[in-house]
Chains A and B, each alone.
Chain A
Amino acid sequence: MKLLHLYDDIMNLYGDYANVAALRRILENSGETVTVDKISLGGQAELTDYDFVYIGSGTEENQKLVMKDLARYRESLKAYIQDGKTALLTGNAFEMLGKSVTDSEGKVHEGLGLYDFTVTEQSKTRVTGDVIYESDFLDKPLVGFVNKCSEIQGIKDSLFTVKMGLGDFEGAKAEGIRDRNLFGTHLTGPALIKNPHLLAYIAQCVTGKQPETAYLEHERAGYEITLNELTKRTGES
């Protein structure tokens, strides 16, 4: 299995690299031989060579820089997704796939245009918070953290529904984007570590086989504790 971590040295704000490390481990524990390539600004990646592509979150400035660079991959990324191959973009990385990102000064930066949504940033308040999401493909909710300054409008096929916390925009009930095996979410940091069931699901998307999950003991215990702490905040437990 070949995994590609794109822009690892510039889109890496919240320990995002751990998502790739987690996927590597679950695949190796499931008997696969795994290599991870890291390719950043100016490098050249052949997406068709890979079984998994990951991009993490960056500062607003760095995201614009990366978005320009990523435009080179527009067609190959489109084909990659249409082939049903697996990609995960966390934090503001998936914002790059829409029509545009309007920055806090009103400047419009062109996105890859793979999807019709638009992104608007502001520079006044950082919108942050713990979240609980649900999905139609996992039987347990997801936990995590969102840390952004943008609103996203116009996503047709959402990844998650919001149980607690922030969605695509203020008051939104939906979060992220799903297209075949492309997963885009504003969850920051090691979302696959925090949510071992999501890790297992994505591993299965990559290999087409049920992965080995018995070793994820502390991951599961950590997930339960976090879910419990967050559920207390919703006043529902």
Chain B
Amino acid sequence: MRMIFTILVCKLLRIIGKAVGKGSSLPGQVALKLCPDILSRVKLPSYIIAVTGSNGKTSTVEMIAHILTSNGKKVAWNKEGSNQIEGVTTLVLNSATLGGKVKSDILLIESDERFAKYTFRYIKPTHYVITNLYRDQLTRNGHPEWVYNALKDSIHEGTQLILNADDPLVSRFGADRKDVVWFGADKLSSDTETLESVYNDGAYCPVCKAPMTYTTHHYNHIGHYRCTECGYRRQDTEYTITAVDLDKGVMEIDGKYRISLALKSLYNIYNILSAYTVARIAGISGEKIAADMNNYVLQNGRVITFTLGNRRGTLLTSKHENSISYDQSLRVACAYKEGCDVMIIVDAVSRKYFTSDVSWLWDIDFEMLRSPNVRQIVLAGKYVNDLAVRFSYTDIPNDKIKLFEDIDEAADYLNSDRKEYIYVITCFSDKGKFLGKVKVD
């Protein structure tokens, strides 16, 4: 009775919540109060895919859901991206009958890194994807090793791990485990021999702490690494990006599947690869996956094209407090050969909590905006002074940079007859303040 009642309340709260535009974590939160062990009472599908990691969770989950559903699977997944235990509870109960049976073939869960150990205490994934571990929201997460330790407690026996072989810290989850599937990229034409980043989180072996060497860097510390002492090294991959041409916007997987990219970034190709890997494991053919991913445009609103007066532009949602997310977006702008203006907004550091910490700006490789493809740089928001100071420590000429504390004024400034494309790089917490000034496609 208690279970039926709890499920009913959760479903009703979700309907009401949707009607008034509330997030999806409250119904689950109430359900967990009413019946704390509700997740162990419901009957879950036999196939449970979980995705976690610092970056790319939401996009990867969306892609997996897209491929699986287009191939006839019934998938329950947390579309809204509420990825802590409450949001996952809402997802599970909302997908269940009143009798407590989840009505889908596959349960697909995006999970927050720090809370995975609580969620997966009740819901044991059969397949567990870990995308990457970066410096991300360190004001809450401490540092990547701290997150590694928290995640370690979320991995149980009997779960197949699906790991990014190119990330040295993530790969450590697979050391000494049997059931691991590795995905990663071969040496790519966009690779660099030396590290191009402000810091090197791959300088020392995560296992023995001796120095590591790289034969190739895909980006930052993601690449082909080897410890100089203990033998820890990048694993050979079962599912592999074999080539990429970011100019043309094409990637190739496993030497035969070519996929055109709607977003020409290395991030995107990794997300596609992890979705591909999961779908292959779920029994879908490479051809079908490649067709589903070809020119796939994410629906999650992270990449938004717009018109501002006579000018066209794209907003690349990047995460504040996450330097690699910024580096990736900056790289997209720098690659724009026809010439672009770049706007960076830091107004509210986080939408979820308050902080004035901007130390993460110093981990972002802004220096790359020296690229001749980048014509003008507009810095905006409450923390514009901190941005200005950060940029003063690059070799970018001062006259290329404009400063506005007010985002409206910055948008008005960009609304000119300049011909350059506009890239706006900012976070969830700040993007609305700009999008209100433009016409979104």
Q: Among the listed A9, A17, A130, A222, which residue makes an inter-chain contact with B357, where contact means beta carbons less than 8 Å apart?
A: A130
| Proximity bits, B185-204, A CB within 8 Å = 1, else 0 | 00000000000001110011
Q: Are B361 and A130 in contact (CB under 8 A)?
A: no
Is B149 an interface residue, CB under 8 A from the partner? yes
| Proximity bits, A42-69, B CB within 8 Å = 1, else 0 | 0000000000000000011110010000
Q: Are B143 and A15 in contact (CB under 8 A)?
A: no
- Alpha-carbon gap, A194 to B361, bound state (A): 12
Which residues from A are CB-within-8-Å of B359? Answer: 14-15, 145, 188-190
Q: Are A61 and B357 in contact (CB under 8 A)?
A: no
Which residues from B are CB-within-8-Å of A229? Answer: 356, 382
- Alpha-carbon gap, A237 to B142, bound state (A): 30
In the assembled complex, 10 residue pairs joining A and B whose CB atoms fall closer than 8 Å, in A order, are A9-B204, A10-B204, A12-B199, A14-B362, A59-B145, A60-B146, A65-B209, A147-B138, A149-B146, A225-B382
Q: Among the listed B141, B356, B362, which residue makes an inter-chain contact with A18, where contact means beta carbons less than 8 Å apart?
A: B362
Q: Are B354 and A13 in contact (CB under 8 A)?
A: no
- Which of B236-244, B272-280, B385-393 participates in binding chain A? B385-393
Q: A15-B198, A230-B356 are in contact. List 11 more A-B contacts (CB 8 A).
A: A10-B203, A12-B199, A13-B143, A15-B359, A17-B198, A21-B393, A65-B209, A126-B142, A145-B356, A188-B359, A218-B386
Which residues from A are CB-within-8-Å of B388? Answer: 218, 222
Shortest CB–CB separation between residue B290 and chain A, in angstroms? 40
| Proximity bits, B368-391, A CB within 8 Å = 1, else 0 | 000000000000001101101100
The 3 A-B pairs with the shortest beta carbon distances in the complex, nearest first, are A15-B362, A189-B359, A222-B385
Task: Give the contacts of B201-242 with A (CB-CB under 8 A).
Answer: 203-204, 209
On B, residues with C-beta under 8 Å from A are 135, 138-146, 149, 198-200, 203-204, 209, 354-363, 382-383, 385-386, 388-389, 392-393
Is A166 an interface residue, CB under 8 A from the partner? no
Which residues from B are CB-within-8-Å of A128? Answer: 139-140, 142
Task: Give the contacts of A127-160 with B (CB-CB under 8 A).
Answer: 128-130, 143-145, 147, 149
Q: Are A219 and B389 in contact (CB under 8 A)?
A: yes
Q: Among the listed B141, B203, B356, B393, which residue makes an inter-chain contact with A130, where contact means beta carbons less than 8 Å apart?
A: B356
A-B CB contacts (within 8 Å), total count: 96
Task: Give the contacts of A18-56 with B (CB-CB under 8 A).
Answer: 18, 21, 25
Q: Are A62 and B383 in contact (CB under 8 A)?
A: no
Shortest CB–CB separation between residue A71 and chain B, in angstroms? 16
Which residues from A are CB-within-8-Å of B200? Answer: 9
Shortest CB–CB separation between residue B178 and chain A, in angstroms? 26
Q: Among the interface residues A18, A144, A219, which one has the most CB atoms of the partner chain B within 10 A?
A: A18
- Alpha-carbon gap, A103 to B135, bound state (A): 22
Instruction: Name which residue of chain B comes closest to A233, CB basis.
Output: B354
Q: Among the interface residues B355, B361, B389, which one has the most CB atoms of the partner chain A within 10 A?
A: B389
Is A207 an interface residue, CB under 8 A from the partner? no
Which residues from B are CB-within-8-Å of A190? Answer: 359, 362
Shortest CB–CB separation between residue A14 and chain B, in angstroms? 4
- Alpha-carbon gap, A55 to B121, bound state (A): 40
